[in-house]
Amino acid sequence: MAHAKIGIIGGTGLYEMDGVKVIDEVQVDTPWGKPSDSVTIAEIENRKVAFLARHGKGHRFLPNEVNNRANIAALKMIGVEEIIAISASGSLKEEIRPLDFVLPDQIIDRTWTRPSTFFGDGVAAHIGFAEPFCPRLHSQIKPAADMTGIKMHTGQTLLCMEGPAFSTKAESNMYRSWGCGVINMSTVQEAKLAREAEICYAVICMSTDYDCWHEVEEHVTIDMVIQNLRTNSEHARNLLKNLIRSMDGERSCACREASKYAVITAPEKRNPEQVRKLRAILPDYF
């Protein structure tokens, strides 16, 4: 099976850019089922990169229907050590304008129907999640955004909501009162599962519009929304190119040992079936 150390989770078409050579389309089967789609392995700046469309090609899955465990496990099984996630997000602050990018460093979880762990079922474990994103990736993403000429806000809190309906005005204003900068429906499970699988993870949020708290003066048309989505994905492609060039793969951060001391179930009491599943993503411990 083709291998790649860098993984990108995002929309489709992110790898459709100049200088990108598609090498392979890999179907991965994981102990948690199939990921959202086949994984595209491509070569960018002489690095192998694995692309996975979070919602499947053609956007077939709602955020609560995405099999996040299979997505993260599939990337891990093809050798991915670092994930850059891309997410269209709503803005909760006036200064985060449509088409700005946000690199959040904290999350508040407002999801409630989705599996958020590989553990359980006879193997109990607790990972640290005080800092939900890889600080080392963050130190590479911001300079790459500056180099690309993208306005990127840092030090923000991301609100991850259940959906699929967008928030009410009361909810949106509550999230604002909590100090949140952006809102989406897809990050918290990816971040937790990547941490458990000892993969470095960071999310780049692309602001598409203001969340519903904002009293819009200007009439928003479908054309404007589509144009913003197009501009955002063009910016994301340019950013990824500069970012991948600067990623050195040196994993000096703690992510690579995140689950090393997390498992608390005594070895002789562990459910053998669950141990077999976990071996696919954490072969050093199971």
Applying CB under 5 A, the residues found at the interface with Zn ion are 134, 136, 200, 253, 255
Instruction: Find residue 205's DSSP bridge partners.
Output: 87, 102
Report the alpha-carbon distance of residue 141 to residue 135 in Å, rounded: 10
Report the alpha-carbon distance of residue 196 to residue 214 in Å, rounded: 37
Nearest distance, CB of residue 130 and Zn ion, angstroms: 14
Instruction: Find residue 49's DSSP bridge partners.
Output: 6, 42
Which CB sits closer to Zn ion, 185 or 200?
Answer: 200
187-196 and 68-77 helices cross at what angle (nearest 10)?
40
Catalytic site residue from 209, 223, 248, 284: 209
Nearest distance, CB of residue 107 and Zn ion, angstroms: 16
Nearest distance, CB of residue 232 and Zn ion, angstroms: 25
Which CB sits closer to Zn ion, 96 or 134?
Answer: 134
Catalytic site residue from 37, 100, 109, 211: 211
Token code pair at residue 95? 């200064």
End-to-end CA distance of the chain: 22
211 part of the active site:
yes
209 to 97, 145, 260, 281: CA distances (angstroms): 7, 20, 40, 37
Cis check for the bond before 164: say yes or no (omega within 30 of 0): yes
| Tokens 């053998």 -> residue | 272
Token code pair at residue 51? 């692309």
Residues contacting residue 87 through CB under 8 Å, at least 6 positions apart: 10, 184, 186, 187, 203, 204, 205, 206
125 to 100, 115, 259, 260, 262: CA distances (angstroms): 37, 14, 8, 10, 5
Nearest distance, CB of residue 105 and Zn ion, angstroms: 13
Which CB sits closer to Zn ion, 93 or 136?
Answer: 136
For the chain, what is the radius of gyration of the CA atoms? 19
Within 13 A of 225's CA, how many CA atoms are on the CB side? 9
Nearest distance, CB of residue 187 and Zn ion, angstroms: 16
Nearest distance, CB of residue 210 and Zn ion, angstroms: 32
100 part of the active site:
no
Residues recognised as catalytic: 209, 211
